[in-house]
Amino acid sequence: MLIKYFLFAVLAISTLLSFANATDQSPLLLAKPKIVGGELAAQGDWPWMSALVFTYSDANSALDVAGTQYQSEPFSYSPSGQASATMVDCGLGDDLCHLAENKICLIARGEIDFSVKAVNCQAAGGIGAIIYNNISGVISGTLGEGFIGNIPVIAISQNDGAILLDKLDSIATINLSVKQDLTQSASCGASFIGEKWVLTAAHCVEDANIEFLKVNIGEYDLSNGASNAKAIKRIYIHPEYDEGSTFNNDIALIELVESSDQTAVKLLDYNTSKQLAIANSPATVIGWGNVNAYGPNDEPPVNSQPNQLRQVELYLLSNEECKDQLAQAYSDLNNTTYSSNQVGITNSMICAAFSGGVQKGSCQGDSGGPLLVNTNEGWQQIGIVSFGVGCANEAFPDVYARVGSFTAWINNITQGIAIESSYDFALTPQNKAQTTPLTVTNNTNLIANLSFTLLADNTSSNGFSLNTDNCTQLSAKQSCQIQVDFDAKTLGKHKVRIVINSNDINIPTSQSYLSAEAIAASNNINTQLSNGSSELRWFSGGDQPWLLDNTEPAIMSGAIGEDQQSAVILTFSGAGTLSFDWSVSSEKNIDNPDESFGILYLIIDDEPIKFISGEVAYAKVIIDDLAVGEHQVTWLYKKDGGTNEGTDKASLKNVIFTPTVTALPSPLPSPSTSTKDSKSSGGSAAFILLIFSLLTLRYRRI
């Protein structure tokens, strides 16, 4: 079996006994003889093995329009059915569709939830819905488990949608059949550690939506058992997880809505993990990841994830051995010299490899799953599948998060006072104040009297403040909320920790990490794009601010490197229409356009709206019907890959905000004054093209 690698997060998803032997003072646990690796696991051998899954009703769909077949995909949780009628253009489907009675609704993908689009179609009398994409490819979407409609809903591509808009008078026939049993799709592995707690990799859940992601404990065959998947209550990502290129502290805890009586895995302590690694002890990794090996410069092969759980035998490396092997491998690969200190292996990681020429290891799909050692106290988890180079390449050992490095963090959350692990206020215009609540939970059986302290990374003013009045005393198994405020008076990046103090030394506590970046007002950009308007306020920052393009009245992103970003923000008040021209010249991911390497994002009032990537000439965007109130529009150029293509920049010009003109109410007429109807100009439906999960400007890590 080959199991795991990398950065595929998804998505994209206790324990006094579990941790009784997971302390640094544990006696040496002797590794038992190695088992045969690279084989199908026996059902029941790994009762704690868990899968992070999305569950859905498996369905088949077909679309025929005037005798021509079009590729379609069913939406998860769409009802079965057949519908045949002419079509009606329903735009974004954000309201009841005019003239939809006894017709099939043709709807554009956009900001509105798919389920709302379908319900609006049905409420207007529509008998079926076709939703077309606004980027290349066919939508793979869901209507949600609580979908209340009963008409069939299918998805088609952007190109086919454009074709059908010219064939509204043709007869379209939808056929959709749905199996009664739920189906599941695994995104990552995980391990059950007791009661309501599951352990996985941070990169598996950093963008997870817990409304859809579930956990299937004790899973073996993914082709059945989807109905056993359990709902998630909270996800705690390690606050010092490095989501960049190092993947340090790649660990997360999942709290389930309900406890489970399934067998839990024991966690191995740090000192014993070091001793076993020095001895090159055998270890076993299990998962549902790809089974085909490939090298560091090879294209990943076609997905080959099995339904049944597999296991593979490896041997542990000391960190020194791992660093030396990786340094040599990187040196050979890049024809240059790397030192052991340049390969990114930390004490929070542990490595495993194979020998004998038979390719074995972890691969895509195995992330988050356990690396196990068989000791005189039974199987214990020593690592979490984290990252690697290629799959099962002998030169590059696989890297795992070392569970023993996180014993205190796990214990503080599962058996103490837990707090949402982090919150990022992200890019904030200078002098703007923001606030957010954070949840604090008492996972002990004791009443806790609590106090909270802010510890800044430096002594300068950081703009953070707390209101903790609701959480000074917290009953057992109860939650409360504190309020965190950030006032962006001081420019630059700010980080601070919330430290929880308990009056009882028997009650462990956790910490939360807060971050924010205040970016400066830009009078130059205001002059360049808005003629110095006092109503339109411009700000620019990030790793590099945006610059003036003096070849025309435009601006362009700053020169940034890998994993950096350059942002420009416009703030204004009032209802109306915003229009602008934007362009980008960047490296595009040919294999997956949704995950390009240089991307220009549009975010309005904290909601991702649209992005462009590759070689895109200036194109106009119009945002209609902005409501009354304060608005913040962000153009964010973000670079994920390490390769430069084109000019590697984004550009913006012709930014115009046109307020909605609303006539003031007429005064009451006098007997000698005639009256006229008072009218106001109405905005059209919101022009919003895309919601995506690749970007989170502000986010919390629970």
For the annotated catalytic residues, the residue numbers are 203, 250, 367
Q: Which of 398, 389, 311, 390 is nearest to 354 (CA)?
A: 398
HSE (CB half, 13 Å, CA atoms) of 261? Answer: 0
Sign of the four-CA dihedral 41, 43, 44, 47: positive
Strands (E), 349-445: 349-353, 361-363, 370-375, 378-387, 398-402, 417-419, 422-429, 433-442
Rounded Cα distance, 482 and 545, in Å: 34
Helix or strand run (H / E) with residue 414: helix 407-414
Burial of residue 559 (CB within 10 Å: 0-12, 13-18, 19+) is: middle
Give the C-alpha separation, 543 to 559, whole Å: 9
Instruction: Indicate the DSSP class of residue 78.
Output: P
- Closest C-alpha to 698, from 427, 484, 433: 427
The answer to whether 62 and 69 have CB atoms below 8 angstroms apart is yes
Q: How far apart are CA 28 and CA 158, in angstroms?
A: 60
CA 162 → CA 91, 138, 175, 378, distances in Å?
Answer: 12, 13, 21, 61
| CA 576 to each of CA 62, 200, 466, 580: distance values in angstroms, whole numbers, following the listed order | 41, 46, 36, 14
- In the chain the first and final C-alpha atoms are separated, in Å, by 34
Q: Which helix (H) or strand (E) holds 599?
A: strand 598-604
Reported as half-sphere exposure (CB side, CA atoms, 13 A), residue 120 has a value of 22
Task: Give the helix ranges, DSSP H, for 224-307.
Answer: 270-278
How many residues does this entry show for the chain? Answer: 702
240 token code pair:
């010092």
H/E stretch holding 87:
strand 81-89
Alpha-carbon distances, residue 517 vs 287, 427, 482, 491, 545 (angstroms): 39, 5, 21, 7, 13
DSSP secondary structure string for all residues of 496-528: EEEEEEES-TTS-B-EEEEEEEEEEE-HHHHHH
Query: Using CB atoms within 10 A of its CB, is residue 656 exposed (0-12), middle (13-18) or buried (19+)?
Result: middle
3-state secondary structure of 441: strand
Measured between alpha carbons, how far is 617 from 647 in angstroms, rounded to an integer?
12
Element (H, E) at 417: strand 417-419
The CA-based angle 446-449-450, given to 5 degrees, is 120
- Phi, psi (rounded to 5 degrees) for 336: -150, 175
Contacts of 42 (CB under 8 A, 6+ apart): none
> Does residue 635 contact residue 653 with C-beta atoms inside 8 Å?
no
Task: Please enumerate in sequence order all residues whose Cβ is within 8 A of that of 124, keeping only pairs 6 or more positions apart, or say none.
Answer: 96, 97, 98, 100, 101, 105
- DSSP lists the bridge partners of residue 370 as 384
* Residue the block writes with tokens 């595929």: 8
